[in-house]
Structure formats: structure tokens, C-alpha cells
């Protein structure tokens, strides 16, 4: 072998060694695809986990996409288009009721109350729920948690949605605010920040909170297929750790600080509106301070769904809730690590 060929072989071997070493000591980041059912200040701790680097600290590269509608989000999860869904926990019950071979498991709770408010076009004096009787009520989509929590609350207040009001619920979620703005309805069930925006525009007033009235629920939860969790337990634990850190961060910071942290996800919304929304949600204890789904919350969820006629049978939490990751995160992640 001549000198030139020997040199070529030598440099080739050196290159191969560097490639092997790079592969052994390279980037070990794990990619996780999240599908959220909507983009909302309601999910502030999720965005805090992203902007404050909590996922990154756990070695996760998170890709977030918004998939409007619980049914579409669940379809994306079941098909493998996403790894984790952030959606109402009722969707996991619907999948379970259909006899799925690979059930969807709730592993980290994000919000613990309904996020909608009763918005009145005209509000004179102190609000009384009896004022809703005889009105035209623009509600949420049938079968979704906002609608079920709304109906549950109305019945608790002595209002039969089928008899005491003219209920409109055939308008898509994305078009409800527009329908109300165009003159439809005396009352409307609204999420933030639309409620605060409408107040600023003089279109009416928030008179009650469905979140407060319907009680604590595992309202929005991170969930994955059972098969994904079984194969990727370490990743799920790291994901839950990041969420716990974000929840503690939100708990320990002011609405102004939280708004600043999540503004990259709400560039088209004025910051003072975001601050107002965060404050309203914090004041009513909407954001969960830990990722565990407890039995009391779960049973309240079942009551709400049963009241709406959407429950074939009560589903024990142990069938589709796995608190192992949340409990470990609570044990390992302390308040001072999130600041």
C-alpha cells in the first residue's frame, strides 16, 4: 500500500472514530409531541413549562400544536400523530366507553375547575340566577366539559335547561363569541380572554363563574395511550416533573409575572388582558398546584357527566388514571426548585 493510500485509510478511520464517539456522547434529548385542544391562558402552566425551560431541563424537546376540538385532539392521539394530549378528561372516558384495546390514560392534571364564565348582555344590580330563567342562553357544544359543567350548574341553581331557557348550542366553539357579538343571546357561556375583551368593549359583564359553581374537577389533563406510557415511562416521568415545576412556579408568582412568561404564546392579545385573565383564574383556584387526579375530583367529574346523560357507567379512576408519575413528581419537586 503506497503512502498516499495509507494516509487516506488513516484519516478515514479517524473520521469513523469521531463519528462513533459523537454518536455515543451526542444529544440525548427526547422529542415529545403535544396536542392541546385550544390555545388558552387557561393553560398557563403549560406555557410556563416551555418558556422557563422546565421541559428542556428534563431533557425533553417539546413540539406543541393546537388541534381545535376534543374529538380531533383525541383522534390525533389515537392515531399516533401526537404523543400527549392536553384535553378534557371526559374524552378519555368516551374512549374507554367504546371498549378501546389501548385506553387513554390520564397522568398529569393541569386545571382543576371549569374555565368558563356566565356573561350577561345586561346586568342591572346584584346578579341572581333566577334572572336567567326565560332568557336566550348561548351555550357550549353538547358533550364537552364546558357544556356539561354549565348544565350541571344551571340545574343546581334550579334552572332546567330544557324548559326554563331557550338554549342554543349548535354553534361551533370558535364561532360562539362572534354569534354573541352579533346579537345572539341574552347570556353566553364564555372562556377567557374573550370575556375580559367583551367587558372592555362594553358588550356586557361577567356575572358568575361556572368553575366556582361546578366545583373541583380534573378539567384539563395531560394524557397518553396506555401503550405509550408503558414503553416510555421515563419520558412520562420527566414530562410530569416539568409540569409540577411549572405549577409551583405559577403558584409562587404574580399574575403580572405569569403574563410576562406566557406572552410569547399570546402575541395578538394585549398584555393587560392576559394579566386580568390570569388573575381571575388564580383568584378562583383554577390552576392545579400538583398533577395528581384525586378521587374526589374524579367522582365530581362523573356526577357532572352523569347529569348530562353522557355516562354509560361510572368508570373507576384506576381504570384510566395513573397517578404514579404525579405522586413521584410531588415528592421530588419542591417549591424552591421552581423559582
Q: pLDDT digit string (tens) for 264-285?
A: 999 999 999 999 999 999 999 9
- The domain limits of the chain are 30-113+217-332, 116-214
Quickly state the pLDDT bin for 10 (edges 50, 70, 90).
very low
Residue 186 has pLDDT above 60, yes or no: yes
Residue 66 CA to residue 38 CA, distance in Å, equals 6
Cβ pair 91, 115 in contact under 8 A = no
As a three-state string, the secondary structure of the chain is CCHHHHHHHHHHHHHHHHHHHHHHCCCCCEEEEEEECCCCHHHHHHHHHHHCCHHHHCCEEEEEEECCCHHHHHHHHHHCCCCEEEEECHHHHHHHHCCCCCCEEEEEEEECCCCEEEEECCCCCCCCHHHHCCCEEECCCCCCHHHHHHHHHHHHCCCCCCCCCEEECCCCHHHHHHHHHCCCCCEEEEECCHHHHHHHCCCCEEEEEHHHHHCCCCCEEEEEEHHHHHHCHHHHHHHHHHHHHHHHHHHHCCHHHHHHHHHHHCCCCCHHHHHHHHHHHHHCCCECCCCCCCHHHHHHHHHHHHHCCCCCCCCCHHHHECCHHHHHHHHHCCHHHHC
Which pLDDT does position 142 carry in this prediction? 84
Residue 216 CA to residue 214 CA, distance in Å, equals 7
| Section 191-206 average pLDDT | 94
R_g of the chain computed on alpha carbons: 24
Least confident of 32-41, 170-179, 230-239: 170-179
30-113+217-332 folds as D-Maltodextrin-Binding Protein; domain 2 (3.40.190)
Residue 286 has pLDDT above 80, yes or no: yes
Q: pLDDT digit string (tens) for 208-266?
A: 999 999 999 999 999 999 999 999 999 999 999 999 999 999 999 999 999 999 999 99
Which pLDDT does position 9 carry in this prediction? 42
Q: Which residue has the higher pLDDT, 44 or 175?
A: 44
User: CATH number of the domain at 116-214, out of 3.90.1170.50, 3.40.190.10, 3.40.50.300, 3.40.228.10?
Assistant: 3.40.190.10
Residue 24 has pLDDT above 50, yes or no: no
Same fold, 30-113+217-332 and 116-214: yes
Residue 291 has pLDDT above 90, yes or no: yes
Q: pLDDT digit string (tens) for 93-112?
A: 999 999 989 999 999 999 99
Which pLDDT does position 7 carry in this prediction? 47
Which pLDDT does position 336 carry in this prediction? 57
Cβ pair 26, 36 in contact under 8 A = no
Which pLDDT does position 27 carry in this prediction? 57
Residue 331 has pLDDT above 90, yes or no: yes
Q: What is the pTM of this model?
A: 0.87
Cβ pair 262, 41 in contact under 8 A = yes
Sign of the Cα torsion 248, 52, 146, 87 reads: negative
Closest C-alpha to 60, from 29, 36, 83, 85: 29
The average confidence (pLDDT) of the chain is 91
Cβ pair 258, 278 in contact under 8 A = yes
Cβ pair 299, 89 in contact under 8 A = no
Q: Which residue has the higher pLDDT, 257 or 337?
A: 257
Amino acid at each position: 500500500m503506497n503512502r498516499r493510500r495509507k494516509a487516506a485509510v488513516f484519516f478515514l478511520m479517524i473520521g469513523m472514530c469521531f463519528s462513533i464517539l459523537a454518536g455515543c456522547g451526542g444529544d440525548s434529548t427526547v422529542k415529545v409531541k403535544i396536542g392541546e385542544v385550544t390555545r388558552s391562558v387557561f393553560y398557563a402552566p403549560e406555557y410556563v413549562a416551555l418558556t422557563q425551560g422546565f421541559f428542556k431541563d428534563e431533557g425533553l424537546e417539546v413540539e406543541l400544536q393546537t388541534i381545535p376540538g376534543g374529538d380531533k385532539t383525541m383522534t390525533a392521539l389515537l392515531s399516533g400523530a401526537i404523543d400527549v394530549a392536553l384535553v378534557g378528561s371526559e374524552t378519555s372516558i368516551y374512549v374507554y366507553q367504546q371498549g378501546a384495546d389501548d385506553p387513554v390514560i390520564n397522568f398529569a392534571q393541569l386545571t382543576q375547575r371549569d374555565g368558563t364564565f356566565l356573561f350577561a348582555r345586561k346586568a342591572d344590580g346584584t346578579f341572581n340566577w333566577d334572572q336567567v330563567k326565560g332568557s336566550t342562553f348561548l351555550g357550549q357544544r353538547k358533550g364537552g366539559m364546558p357544556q356539561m359543567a354549565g348544565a350541571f350548574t344551571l340545574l343546581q341553581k334550579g334552572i332546567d335547561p330544557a324548559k326554563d331557557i331557550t338554549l342554543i348550542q349548535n354553534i361551533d366553539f370558535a364561532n360562539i363569541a362572534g354569534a354573541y357579538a352579533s346579537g345572539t343571546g341574552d347570556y353566553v357561556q364564555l372562556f377567557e380572554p374573550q370575556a375580559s375583551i367583551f367587558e372592555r368593549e362594553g358588550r356586557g359583564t361577567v356575572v358568575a363563574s361556572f368553575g366556582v359553581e361546578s366545583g373541583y374537577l380534573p378539567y384539563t389533563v395531560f394524557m397518553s395511550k396506555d401503550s405509550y406510557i408503558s414503553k416510555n415511562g421515563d419520558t412520562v416521568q420527566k414530562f410530569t416533573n416539568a409540569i409540577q415545576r411549572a405549577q409551583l412556579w405559577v403558584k409562587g408568582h404574580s399574575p403580572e409575572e405569569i403574563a410576562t412568561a406566557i406572552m410569547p404564546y399570546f402575541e395578538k392579545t394585549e398584555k393587560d388582558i392576559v394579566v386580568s385573565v390570569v388573575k381571575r383564574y388564580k383568584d378562583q383556584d383554577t390552576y392545579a398546584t400538583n398533577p395528581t387526579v384525586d378521587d374526589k375530583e374524579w367522582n365530581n367529574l362523573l356526577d357532572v357527566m352523569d347529569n348530562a346523560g353522557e355516562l354509560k357507567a361510572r368508570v373507576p379512576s384506576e381504570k384510566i388514571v395513573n397517578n404514579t408519575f404525579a405522586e413521584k413528581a410531588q415528592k421530588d419537586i419542591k417549591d424552591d426548585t421552581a423559582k
